[in-house]
Amino acid sequence: MTEKMEVQTGFAEVNGTWLCYEVAGTGHPLTLIHGGLVNRKLWDDQFEAFAQHYRVVRFDMRGFGDSGLLSAQGETISLEKDVHDLLRYLGIEKTYLLGLSMGGAIAIDFTLRYPEMVDALIPVAMGLSGFVPEDKKENEKEQAHWKEVGEALEQHNLDRAVELTLRKWTDGPARTPDQVDPVVRAKVGAMTRRNYERPDVLEDVEPEHQGQPAVGRLSEIHVPTLIIVGDQDVRVILQIADVLEKGIVGAKKVVIRGTAHHLNMEKPEEFNRVVLDFLESLK
């Protein structure tokens, strides 16, 4: 019988709010940052698997899951500084950094802001601060999607808001809902609904940037970088992956077939192998 892994849980006060975190394993720190539709449970298939090899940290960003409100009176929202202060709270000076979607964008911005703290960068299905699709229709489609989600939330139609996000992100543009694992769909939907039920859901959660956005600073990233995307993700994410691969010297890109935005949940074994093989190669 496998011995149950010891998990340290707690709440860290940072920058006018508090973050719910979990830590497991020993070895070099590996920090996991979730995306904007989900919470730390996004990493359920990775947390203990990675903790067999590393000291793994996962947490809910402010405004998500079990963490505190997005903003406090008189405080400036900086999701990158939240990560920094959480790591300091946990006594971590250097870490491998893995983030998905908005979490990927935060990981990239964090690497630029605190390069001395990052030993390797793994952006997954990531956003990129300052990136604007060259195709105006793509940009218009993106804005229209979030407008429709916002209207559903204003009408208190959570079912519609959640389904809209599932169809665009979890299913991807080329798949129907019945082509996606229903367990994955249900889990992402539950996390999204919980976020939308929070009182601060309509707040602006875009990361605060210092100076020039990351899209114009990729040449400043000098740590080993692995980019991971699913081939069924939306076009803008695949475009960002190409921009990162070209802009970061030595960056490697892996495409996981048959997955969209939540690829780590759709094919966890393949995803975990890709990440662990990359990190092992750094030793």
pLDDT over threshold 60, residue 5: yes
- pLDDT of 60-94, one tens digit each? 999 999 999 887 555 567 899 999 999 999 999 99
pLDDT over threshold 50, residue 207: no
Residue 5: both structure tokens together? 């892994």
What CATH homologous superfamily does 7-132+204-280 map to? Alpha/Beta hydrolase fold, catalytic domain (3.40.50.1820)
Asked if 240 and 127 touch (Cβ cutoff 8 Å), the reply is yes
Block residue for tokens 């979030």:
146
What does the domain layout of the chain look like in residue ranges? 7-132+204-280, 136-196
Q: How confident is the model at residue 156 (pLDDT cuts 50, 70, 90)?
A: very high
pLDDT over threshold 60, residue 46: yes
pLDDT over threshold 90, residue 263: yes
Up-side HSE of residue 100: CA atoms within 13 Å toward CB?
Answer: 28
Region 167-183: mean pLDDT is: 97
CB-based contacts of 278, cutoff 8 Å, min separation 6: 120, 122, 224, 226, 252
Residue 103, class by beta-carbon neighbours within 10 Å (0-12 exposed, 13-18 middle, 19+ buried)? buried
| Spatial separation of the C-alpha atoms in residues 155 and 136, rounded to whole Å | 29
**pLDDT on residue 1:** 40
Asked if 24 and 92 touch (Cβ cutoff 8 Å), the reply is no
Region 195-203: mean pLDDT is: 74
pLDDT over threshold 60, residue 49: yes
- pLDDT of 20-42, one tens digit each? 999 999 999 999 999 999 999 99
Residue 63: both structure tokens together? 């405004």
Of 50-54, 159-163, 195-199, 235-239, which range is least confident? 195-199
Region 91-108: mean pLDDT is: 98
On average, the pLDDT of the chain sits at 93
Residue 234: both structure tokens together? 């939306």
Q: How many CB atoms lie within 10 A of CB 80?
A: 21
Block residue for tokens 């300052």:
130
Q: Could you tell me how many helices (H) and strands (E) the chain has, helices first?
A: 9, 8
| Spatial separation of the C-alpha atoms in residues 254 and 94, rounded to whole Å | 25
pLDDT over threshold 90, residue 235: yes
| Spatial separation of the C-alpha atoms in residues 124 and 254, rounded to whole Å | 10
- pLDDT of 108-149, one tens digit each? 999 999 999 999 999 999 999 999 888 878 788 888 999 999
Asked if 28 and 52 touch (Cβ cutoff 8 Å), the reply is no
Asked if 277 and 52 touch (Cβ cutoff 8 Å), the reply is no
**pLDDT on residue 202:** 45
